[in-house]
Structure 1
Amino acid sequence: MSNTQNTFTLIDEPKGNLAFKLFWFDDNSHFDHLQRHNYFSLIWIKEGSGILKSDFSEYSFEAGRMLAFSLYQPFMLLAQQPIKGVAIQFHPDFFCILKHHKEVSCSGILFDNIYRPPYVMVDTINESLLNLLLEQMKAEMLNKALAQYEILISYLKIFLITTSRLKTEQQDILYELDKDAKEPYILQDLKDAIEAHFKTKHSASDYADLLNISAKSLARITKTHFNKTISNLIAERIIIEAKRELYLTNKPIKEIAYALGYEDEYYFSRFFKTNADVSPQLYRDTVGYGRASA
């Protein structure tokens, strides 16, 4: 374990992978270039502002935002005012939110939420709790006592649950503000349609037909509200499911591809690599393998 300039790192010695890392930063040098990691990242912006580039979209961010990125999710921060903050990074071998979804409920809310920006606003009520948890993690990283991993995971769970609750509350508020408008109903129908059919319907026109709306109108609404094209949303949803299958099961890639509507395994592998920047096999090799029953 290293302790240099407010950086605390645990390494999975047998594999040499990053297990858990906690670090405070006072500039943007860590994030001013494209990031794609085989671990989860939480970045709390305490000061400053800028532009977040993630997946197919750009978002403004400012102090008080907690940014959340899943495995191999691309992101990059462009600072407009000098940024400072703290980051937590953890490999799924250390703690996997996919296997512990019932406990922390952050998959699809905090992480891998293709319909909302990849951040949550930290309010003053929860700021103190989250800061306390960070200090407890820091103290535990300095303590090589018995059950260190278990204690760190407990603190991490509380951190994830707290931020996931915050994001859920903020999504509910946005829904209440929009529920009287016609477009949000179409958006909800689109989300429901993608969730129901992404394994078999891969084109934007398929969803326009399902919703009985012109492809042009649906594209405009989707871009306005999600800052993404329909094709982007479909691709992201397929990749999330593929990643889940690659990690949680030992199914052959050909079987996973077929279940997601791709009869040609090699076409699917190219599609996956285009969107995840790694091949399905390399993803499985670097993220690890953790069956749901494990």
Structure 2
Amino acid sequence: MTAQTSYTLIDPQTKKLAFKVFIFDDASYFKQLKNYNYYTIILVLEGEGKVRADFSDYNFYDGNLMCFGIYQPFMINTTGVFKGVLINFHPDFFCIHKHQQEVACNGVLFNNIYETPVIQLVDTEVQQLLLLVDQLKTEMQNAALAQYELLVSYLKILLISASRIKINQGIAELKMANEPFILKTLKHAIEEHYRIKHSPSEYSDMLNISTRALNRISKAHFNKTLSGLIAERIIIEAKRELYLTSKPVKTIAYELGFNDEFYFSRFFKSNVAISPQYYRDTVGFAKAE
């Protein structure tokens, strides 16, 4: 891999990007904030630096994998050598929600507010993923019978392989150090009440701890403020509803605890940088109906 090379598949109906494999050998492509209407996977082969995802910063190194969801803003800062592979796929090309039982990467690689988007790999795992990348590249250059089906099959294997790696790492980490009980309680509380409780104080009262202390714990373990954690959980559900259903934005807002549709739209835009309607228009919707 000595030169930047791009393999792109365009949706014949929308004329927009459906699937892309991009081989990069410097950081020029990543100098500006990225906020795509498709999923992004980056395999870092050489280089190190920081990635800012949403409102948090994470370190990355050689042999790291980074995964970002639809319209999840991220920016990469690195100096020196930066080589690797970037994969983009639009949800119309492959919907992780519809194929959750087959692939189960939603909540593991994507849309997990409690974990870093950066996954550490060992050499054998890097080579395993690179083999799949090579198969994707070969098929992208071969516009033959059932090309789409083969590309999706290779993508599924890549997503399953990466998910297994991350899950196995999580099990190993839990064996080494059990998660503090307060964090388990906080995650359970957010998952149960995010539709109706939006303020940090409501969760600190529920857990019988000061808001300041709970926010400090959240920053230490999740690299996010408590308010940021709650907001991200609301946004993930809002995105899911906008994509999978044809419910009016007003209805989605109400179901997520917003009595004012316009306040919900401002909240969504402040976190995603686009309006709910624009998200729906560019990502697609009613996929579950």
Deviation at 1:74, TM superposition (A): 0.5
2:189 to 175, 186, 193: 193
Mapped to 2, the partners of 1:288 and 1:90 lie a distance apart of 13
Q: Secondary structure at the match of 1:58?
A: strand
The residue that corresponds to 1:105 in the other structure is 104
The residue that corresponds to 1:127 in the other structure is 126
Structure 1 residues 5 and 85: CA distance shift in structure 2, 3 A: closer
The residue that corresponds to 2:169 in the other structure is 170
The residue that corresponds to 1:17 in the other structure is 16
Q: Secondary structure at the match of 2:174?
A: helix
Q: Secondary structure at the match of 2:42?
A: strand
Q: Secondary structure at the match of 2:163?
A: helix
The residue that corresponds to 2:64 in the other structure is 65
The residue that corresponds to 2:115 in the other structure is 116
Mapped to 1, the partners of 2:206 and 2:175 lie a distance apart of 25
Q: Secondary structure at the match of 1:71?
A: coil
The residue that corresponds to 2:142 in the other structure is 143
Q: How many residues align?
A: 287
Mapped to 1, the partners of 2:100 and 2:265 lie a distance apart of 27
Mapped to 2, the partners of 1:86 and 1:247 lie a distance apart of 27
The residue that corresponds to 2:7 in the other structure is 8
1:209 to 181, 205, 209: 205
Supply the AA of the counterpart residue of 2:232: E
Matches within 5 A, 1:151-170: 151-170=150-169
Mapped to 1, the partners of 2:5 and 2:286 lie a distance apart of 31
Q: Is the 8 A contact 2:23 2:85 kept in 1?
A: yes
Mapped to 2, the partners of 1:203 and 1:81 lie a distance apart of 42
The residue that corresponds to 2:248 in the other structure is 252
Supply the AA of the counterpart residue of 2:73: P
Mapped to 2, the partners of 1:290 and 1:88 lie a distance apart of 25
Supply the AA of the counterpart residue of 1:38: N
Matches within 5 A, 1:201-280: 201-280=197-276
Q: Is the 8 A contact 2:63 2:123 kept in 1?
A: no
Supply the AA of the counterpart residue of 2:193: H
Q: Is the 8 A contact 2:58 2:118 kept in 1?
A: no
Q: Secondary structure at the match of 1:43?
A: strand
TM-score w.r.t. structure 1 length?
A: 0.95
Deviation at 1:35, TM superposition (A): 0.4
Mapped to 2, the partners of 1:246 and 1:60 lie a distance apart of 32
Q: Which runs of 4+ in 1 moved over 4 A?
A: none
Supply the AA of the counterpart residue of 1:277: A
Deviates more, 1:228-237 or 1:281-290: 281-290
Structure 1 residues 225 and 5: CA distance shift in structure 2, 3 A: closer
Unaligned runs of 5+ in 2: none
Q: Is the 8 A contact 2:4 2:25 kept in 1?
A: no
Deviation at 1:132, TM superposition (A): 1.2
Supply the AA of the counterpart residue of 2:99: H
Q: Secondary structure at the match of 1:86?
A: strand
Mapped to 1, the partners of 2:21 and 2:129 lie a distance apart of 13
TM-score w.r.t. structure 2 length?
A: 0.96
Mapped to 1, the partners of 2:127 and 2:26 lie a distance apart of 23
Mapped to 2, the partners of 1:11 and 1:91 lie a distance apart of 10
Unaligned runs of 5+ in 1: none
Q: Is the 8 A contact 1:50 1:81 kept in 2?
A: no
Deviation at 1:290, TM superposition (A): 4.4
Q: Secondary structure at the match of 1:291?
A: coil
Q: Per-residue CA shift, 1:122-157, capped at 9, x if unaligned?
A: 222322221111111111011010110110000000
Deviation at 1:101, TM superposition (A): 1.1
Supply the AA of the counterpart residue of 2:17: L
The residue that corresponds to 1:53 in the other structure is 52
Deviation at 1:273, TM superposition (A): 0.6
Q: Secondary structure at the match of 1:30?
A: helix
Mapped to 1, the partners of 2:215 and 2:4 lie a distance apart of 47
Supply the AA of the counterpart residue of 1:75: F
Mapped to 2, the partners of 1:99 and 1:113 lie a distance apart of 17
Mapped to 2, the partners of 1:290 and 1:130 lie a distance apart of 32
